[in-house]
A and B are shown apart, each in its own frame.
Chain A
């Protein structure tokens, strides 16, 4: 467990951090929470020449509501901040459901949502949640800023769309078109284990009718999977049982799980359908009552 030799930089401002990235290019790696990067370095799966620790950069630890039910999450906002957030409950039900399920309490004290998106592990929880919510990532470099939808940000297994000189400085949840509901369910063999399968559902409804829906899948493919057709099947509905069943089938159909020590491919696909059904069935009760 002895990492390769590396240079350590701890800039105090974002400009300094961006300058270091501009200087070192693909040799450099950003250290935020370090909960994936540091273990990979200790195993020598990752051997960055320069580690740019942004933990001393002020103003990145925030998460705040934006008008119309949106949310901004800074690059140093820890999982634990979201778990204990007063902003999420009610306003962001899918995120609020996922926050206590991320990794384990020890990892949650250090790890960050933005770091989880950047790591692009298909078993990461936040990528599914943000994908279901239609979220995006703001990338900064000395050349300026750009906003990348999560669906384009995660480009493959452990691959994101950042250029070598860019830092992901925040994640953004857009304003809602209706009342938010939804949840996140994850099957894990043990607290802190990577997901066997996970399902994020983000719904927006007006008078009980779904006006926007997002469904995304964790751990059942080479990258986080958007179950677009399944989500589309919900729009215009009031989550009647046949619609729920249809969405569950469609979501399971786009899953591309592999048989491994967490379960067979058939089983994981079945869990996806079960979780979609469970989330939507639970959501139907309050929605139906409001109608």
Chain B
């Protein structure tokens, strides 16, 4: 790849790593302001005359609203507006569409359908008064039976949650299937062994450190609406506001300032945003809404909450003949999955993409329950986390059922290097990879054979050691535009590059960083293409008035799509610079050669001009007939998704007396193609493995039988700290993406997607002598203890049992 190519002897090309190009672990430029407390988050935005909004939420999971009395709230001095669903309905804003073509209540009018649902909001001179006034609103509820899992949702006599929807006679949100049912059935008929597994992937929450929030500023003199908000996709929000609120798009400006983490949580438009906008319009004042932790955890987009019922058809010598499974998703009260695919259950059918599986069949069903709505892609591409977790748990169960070593079973079934591009049983085309090499590097690093000996010795002493492997590829970088869109807008992305006369540059992108380091890494792509030092390039994003239209940042799509657009616009700039160079060198363009940072005359290498000299010429000495200036833009529609590969291996020791398990070692081997900034890539992987550890070990949201949320604050919803988090030993393999301009693939989510199965498989491996087949995540000490002592599987499905 160009990224690692050595300059030819005698070359005057710049040293790419030194100037901050591809492969440079240059420090993050964002950190200077973040570490010094000079970031600018929505909470930091203060406008003259600004008012404050607080939301009143439902304490009940399912109840009819009999009456709402706001008189005491209105009577509190400093209160400017008390907004109810009835009032919002007058503006046709009591309900809004979701990204999954359902509807969602903005403020409840008829019923509340989950605990924490938005019922009313108050605008006041300060947030304390607003909160006092929320407390003064009297809502009379008539409680209805709550539904907290899919089984209850389809039980005879189950109450209809979505009685607001005409034609909705049950609690089923969708049904979907993919694959070849007949072919799969035929393959199962020929199987030597059928391996079965049932499990529940618990509900989790992206839990960004910064909650949602907005400052909505409707100027009734100009008619312009400016909204500062915590969004991963400001351009989509502008389009959505234009479509939903029927405001003219050119008079809407969405600004995402610094965003304190998103992880998928900040893709959707939530009721709070709509309320803030409506309240600003009604009061003609800027209105600030800052969500609290409980509001964020209890009402905004969750992840997962999915049930697996699976079977795998196997031969005795360890070949997979077919897979089939049924997946049930618990959608909560509104089907609000924030995903842009045409598939009802996202990309769940990307499971088994890294294995040579001839045929498969997946059926899926989504259920309405009295739980928070959403289904965001928490650090993954739309249900890919569940897909890969299911896959890797099924793989381990199958190896165990065959009595075959889990590494050997993978070796026999992973797609080989010579099979690419490889068509998966569910229709994806994986682009490239070296799966067996990654697996072997991982096994060597962990000392696989030695560990098996150590494990056997330890078992003789009553100590429980375990080793778990997770290997997976995943589809990153939506689109292409054929299959991916949001509200009909295709999933491309964009970049605009302006090179100033002195050779300094501004890159504007349609993606939106929430901590990924775009301001650092996207400059490096320009450096790679143009030889302009990264420190001479500033990257701007997040203001719809001043950046090109882009679909935002999620699903690890920034580098695959916006990163590609950046490379493409830089190449357009270089093409024009080449003409300028020819003019300056007084030769024909065909005689001009490029090396990093300069053009030179073929055969006379010392005669050259730098990219900076070309930039100056673009404004001061352009040839006759050439348009002045050195700027351009590019919109990039990817031909395919990118397919990184990862192999994660964990070793653990389980305390048989307490069920507590500790990670002994963790090895990660990631192949995400060409690495732009290796330090940032490693940071992404470590962050993902930390989140994976959290999901496997401690973190979940669940509901009790009354629909009360367990995990609505950070005392109950646990984020791991440095004390618990294991150390990670990282390795890399580089298989460049064949279709990405710089060979890069997505990486931001691989570790969170592939990591959980490594931990869980390791604990299950440790417990193998007990005969336990599955413990649902998180593998809390009491669950592990009960499983080890009873030899029974432990379900984590709600309702959560309390006394």
Contact = CB atoms under 8 A, between A and B. Distances in A.
Interface of A: 1-5, 43-44, 104, 187, 189-194, 196, 258-268, 270-271, 274
Given A262-B780, A267-B781, 13 more contacts: A4-B132, A5-B128, A189-B718, A190-B721, A190-B723, A191-B724, A192-B721, A194-B715, A259-B802, A259-B803, A260-B803, A262-B782, A267-B782
A2 B127 contact: yes
Nearest to B130: A2
Nearest to B698: A189
A262 B711 CA distance: 12
Contacts of B711: 261
A44 B713 CA distance: 14
Given A259-B801, A264-B786, A2 B131 contact: yes
B803 A265 contact: yes
A267 B785 contact: yes
Interface string B696-737: 011000100000001101011010110110000000000000
Contacts of A268: 782
A277 to B, nearest CB: 9
B657 interface: yes
Contacts, number: 72
Contact of A1 (B132, B293, B718, B786): B293
Contact of B702 (A43, A187, A261): A261
Give the 5 A-B residue pairs with the shortest CB-CB distance, closest first.
A263-B782, A267-B782, A191-B723, A2-B131, A258-B803
A193 B715 CA distance: 7
A267 B660 CA distance: 12
Contacts of B293: 1
A264 B724 CA distance: 23
Most chain A C-beta atoms within 10 Å of own C-beta, residue among B135, B658, B713, B802? B658
A261 B803 contact: no
B292 interface: yes
Interface in B157-177: none
A196 B781 contact: yes
A84 B801 CA distance: 40
Contacts of A5: 128, 132
A265 B781 CA distance: 13
Contact of A190 (B292, B659, B698, B801): B698
Contacts of A267: 659, 781-782, 785-786
A189 B800 CA distance: 17
A267 B720 CA distance: 23
Contact of A191 (B131, B721, B785): B721
Contact of A2 (B128, B658, B697, B780): B128
18 contacts: A2-B127, A4-B132, A5-B128, A5-B132, A187-B660, A187-B781, A190-B720, A190-B724, A193-B715, A196-B781, A196-B782, A260-B802, A262-B780, A263-B780, A267-B659, A267-B785, A267-B786, A274-B657
Contacts of B702: 261
Contact of B718 (A44, A190, A263): A190
Contacts of B660: 187
Contact of A189 (B294, B713, B780, B786): B780
B802 A270 contact: no
Nearest to A260: B802
Contacts of A4: 132
A264 to B, nearest CB: 5
A196 B702 CA distance: 18
Interface string B780-803: 111001100000000000001111
A13 B127 CA distance: 34
Contacts of B801: 259, 264
Interface of B: 54, 127-128, 130-132, 135, 292-294, 657-660, 697-698, 702, 710-711, 713, 715-716, 718, 720-721, 723-724, 780-782, 785-786, 800-803
Contacts of B720: 190
A104 B718 CA distance: 13
A193 B724 CA distance: 12
A104 B802 CA distance: 27
Contacts of B718: 189-190, 193
A274 B657 CA distance: 7
Nearest to B52: A2
B721 A187 contact: no
A267 B785 CA distance: 8
B721 to A, nearest CB: 5
Contacts of A261: 702, 710-711, 716, 800, 802
B200 to A, nearest CB: 15
A69 B292 CA distance: 48
Contacts of A192: 721
A43 B298 CA distance: 15
B698 A187 contact: no
A43 B292 CA distance: 10
Contacts of A264: 782, 786, 801
A274 B658 contact: yes
A44 B292 CA distance: 13
B716 A263 contact: no
Contacts of B657: 274
A1 B297 CA distance: 14
B350 to A, nearest CB: 32
A271 B658 contact: yes
Contacts of B723: 190-191
Contacts of A260: 802-803
A223 to B, nearest CB: 16
Contacts of B127: 2
B658 A187 contact: yes
Nearest to B721: A191
Contacts of A1: 292-293
Contacts of B802: 258-261
Most chain B C-beta atoms within 10 Å of own C-beta, residue among A187, A259, A267? A267
Given A189-B718, A263-B780, A270 B800 contact: no
Nearest to B660: A187
Contacts of B782: 196, 262-264, 267-268
Nearest to A259: B803
Contacts of A189: 697-698, 718, 780-781
A196 B698 CA distance: 13
Contacts of B721: 104, 190-192
A3 B657 CA distance: 43
A187 B801 CA distance: 20
Nearest to B659: A267
Nearest to B722: A191
A76 to B, nearest CB: 25
Nearest to B295: A1
Nearest to A261: B710
A56 to B, nearest CB: 25
Contacts of A194: 715
Nearest to B655: A274
Contacts of B131: 2, 44
Contacts of B135: 44
Nearest to B294: A43
Nearest to A3: B128
A105 B308 CA distance: 40
A2 B702 CA distance: 26
A104 B722 CA distance: 11
Contacts of B710: 261
A5 B77 CA distance: 14
Contacts of B128: 2-3, 5
Nearest to B723: A191
Contacts of A190: 698, 718, 720-721, 723-724
A136 to B, nearest CB: 30
A169 to B, nearest CB: 29
A190 B697 CA distance: 10
A257 to B, nearest CB: 9
Contacts of B780: 189, 262-263
A197 to B, nearest CB: 9
Contacts of B715: 193-194
Contacts of B724: 190-191
Nearest to A106: B721
